[in-house]
Amino acid sequence: MSLLELSKKYGKDEYSLLKENPGLENLSFFSSLSLGNTEWIDIKGKTLFLGSQIAILDDLCKKSKVYIYEDELERLGSVQAVFGIDIEYIADFESINLNDFDTVIAYGSEKVSKLMQREKPNTKLVLIFDNKYGMNYFEEEFGDKEALSVKAVREWIGEHSTYYPYPNYRYVYKLLSDKEMPGAGELSQIKAYDYPRFALKDIGERFSQAAKTGDFDSFANSYIIVAGGNEENVYIKYNRTRLPKYQIKTEIRLRDDKKYVVKSALKKEGIPHILGMYDGAKRIKNDSVTVLEGSFKNDGEINFPFIKGKSLSNLCEECIKKDINGFIEGIKEYLKKIVDEDALNLDAIFDNFIFDGEKFIAIDCEWIFDESMDFIKDRELFIKYRALHSFYQNNSNKIQNKFALNESDFMAKFGIDDIDGMDFIERRFQDYIHGDYQEVYLDNYFVETVSHETLNEGLVALAELPDAKNKINELTEINKDRELAIKEMNRLKTLTDNHVNNLGIIIDNLRHENEELAKTLNVYNNNLSIPFRIRRKLSTIYNKKYPKGSVERKKLNYRLMSIFHPIKYFKLTHSEEGRNLIEGEFKIGDLYREKGKINFPYAENPKVSIIIPVYNQVHYTYACLVSILENTVEFDYEIIIADDVSTDATKEIDKFVTGLVIARNESNQGFLKNCNNAAKKVRGEYIFFLNNDTTVQKDWLPPLIRLLESDKSIGMVGSKLIYPDGRLQEAGGIIW
């Protein structure tokens, strides 16, 4: 919505307007944050206002007859929509007789420049404008488009007083003057409103440095120059982001060259809070501290004497010069002094105590605990946390550089371990004070700044960008390969699922055939002859006593051979080959009786080194070797037996198989290390790892070698493995 539309809809209800329509233009045009420019100035009679700002005009209307000149039509229309006939509107600037007015206020650099084109009138003048050389202007465009040089303004206006709205005239949190300039460490700029987006150094820290060297007046963002006035105010601090009932201002005034302090309510709702401050201060019991007493002058206003001395913050800052123990012990001693007996003074932070040379004086006790603050359980610990947190925030760089303490470590030195819990209570306390006013007037306008360090990190990231792109491309290619592998695996899974379904059908058919055969067998058994039944019964008893393949059965067979075939038995037992055949049958199995001792020819330059890792199970190993010998042609090869300390006939396998390379470990290594140890003995161009419970089929090796040699990018190939019953175990292999 435009300024004019907002003015027509909300009128003087700035809170609702800003809550529902946040924005910097709306805030600067409508909000009471700008009142710090004029509300303290003695204004009466007729006032000419050059420019427009709703809250200021509303305040002026309560003090004087207001005339306005505004050449921006939308702003002029907005003022007319809010004030109607309560304000006189002047259309022609040149026709204005400036001396007809008691006070002339020029708001903004453009209006100040316009006024300076005229002869200086003999009336009270208030000029409000941005400094061309203000701190924020060094970072980026800020504030008024045509900011002014204060030197030119001072030459035009003559005798005057200078005030400094801080951080600038659109949003006044503090008002400083030549008679009350800030000291080092007193200024910290909130990163909000028109705070620079790109700040190579913290603006608040720069202002503190300027204050330390006495140069703040040269680099202030904005000025208020008053000619013809006799205002007593030399310093004002505003608390306008609080709930209305807690909104106050703190002033330092100068009368007859003597300073005094005034605390007053900004709104009528705040008067009970001022009265509560007066009564609450009397509840504080602390023998180490004198509580500054005030006196009532007007409704909602308390006057205090101005106390000269050194702030406790400065005394604590001096402790940083000591070693770590002296620093911590010094702060602890000061903490003991400022926490009152009943832990009621929640405002006991170091900034609120002055040492006048003899004693500590509590100059600000605004927040005294009462029952409405029941969310604060451990008051003493919370008071200590607030004091330490405020001190650390103001001196964090010094503490980190000297002692390398972050805030958590610093707090732990004072017995505060749950810093998050304390921070939560502090936020509850701030919500209690501010409600949603802080969101409406401040939080909505925080600026995410980009520091010098962040920019450097960005430059480093830009330099690394090409490498990052290359890495992304590599990962993209890897993902493509993986996607292809996944597709292939899905295809194989589909084939496997189909195969499993087919096998399921075959199994069901076989079960049915089994059932039919069982029926047939049952009929057959019922009709067998008696002699056959006797013979089958005896055979069952014999097989039970001497199981097939058992040592007992083999011994019995050889005894029977010696009786029924003595010549054959004699040849077996009296020849080296025969004795080897008998020993192999007993130690390896029936297959050895059939195949006997086998021999692998020596290969001078083997194409493939076949590594067979074994641990016992010599009968599997022998069957595997027989299958290799019978089914491996075309390529020369060698066989390496990787024996992981077997205890059966494997340890003497060279009795039954010749031409092997034996790689025997001294201790059991496990499968992987066993394979790696055997690989040290290879002579072949390729290595093939083969489990000993495998029997290879005809033409098993050549396809693998041809596939490897067809593409140099192939690093591994895998065989198709099938279970003895025909089921697929695996096909190929994938390395991730």
pLDDT per residue as tens digits for the range 248-266: 999 999 999 899 999 999 9
Q: Is the domain defined by 598-731 classed in CATH 3.40.718.10? A: no
Residue 736 pLDDT more than 60? no
- The pLDDT score that the predictor gives to residue 95 is 93
SS3 at position 91: coil
b/e map of 486-501 (b: 16 or more CB within 10 Å)? eeeeeeeeeeeeeeee
Q: Above pLDDT 90, what percent of the chain?
A: 60
pLDDT per residue as tens digits for the range 535-552: 766 667 766 666 766 667
Domain 3-234: top CATH class: alpha beta
323 neighbors 252 (Cβ within 8 angstroms): no
Residue 643, strand partner residues: 614, 664
- How large is the average pLDDT for residues 611-635? 94
- The pLDDT score that the predictor gives to residue 12 is 94
Task: Look at strands 258-265 and 608-614 and give their pairing.
Answer: unpaired
- How large is the average pLDDT for residues 690-694? 93
- How large is the average pLDDT for residues 413-439? 94
Confidence of residue 602 (pLDDT cuts 50, 70, 90): very high
- The pLDDT score that the predictor gives to residue 727 is 78
- The pLDDT score that the predictor gives to residue 224 is 97
- The pLDDT score that the predictor gives to residue 490 is 83
Taking alpha carbons only, the member of 120, 104, 109, 108 closest to residue 156 is 120
SS3 at position 438: helix
- How large is the average pLDDT for residues 45-60? 97
| Own/partner long-range contacts of 441-447 (Cβ < 8 Å, ≥24 apart) | 441/18, 441/27, 441/31, 441/33, 441/240, 441/241, 442/190, 442/192, 442/241, 444/22, 445/22, 445/24, 445/27, 445/192, 445/193, 446/191, 446/192, 447/191, 447/192, 447/193, 447/195, 447/196, 447/197
- The pLDDT score that the predictor gives to residue 516 is 84
Confidence of residue 722 (pLDDT cuts 50, 70, 90): confident
CATH fold match for the domains 3-234 and 598-731: no
- The pLDDT score that the predictor gives to residue 593 is 85
| Domain residue ranges of the chain, discontinuous segments joined by + | 3-234, 243-434, 466-521, 598-731
In this structure, what is the dihedral angle of CA atoms 416, 420, 423, 425, given to the nearest 10 degrees? -90
SS3 at position 668: coil
Q: What are 134's two structure tokens?
A: 């203000």
Which spans in 121-270 are helix H? 150-157, 203-212, 216-219
**N-terminal to C-terminal alpha carbon distance within the chain:** 60
- In the chain, the amino acid numbered 154 is R
pTM of the model: 0.62
Taking alpha carbons only, the member of 158, 177, 174 closest to residue 216 is 177
How far apart CA 518 and CA 408 sit, in angstroms, is 84
How far apart CA 40 and CA 56 sit, in angstroms, is 11
The DSSP H or E segment spanning 394 is helix 379-403
Specify the range with the lowest mean pLDDT, choosing from 82-96, 204-218, 231-245, 406-420. Answer: 204-218
What CA–CA distances, in Å, run from 668 to 309, 517, 618, 662, 719? Answer: 85, 49, 17, 15, 28
Specify the range with the lowest mean pLDDT, choosing from 173-182, 200-209, 459-468. Answer: 200-209
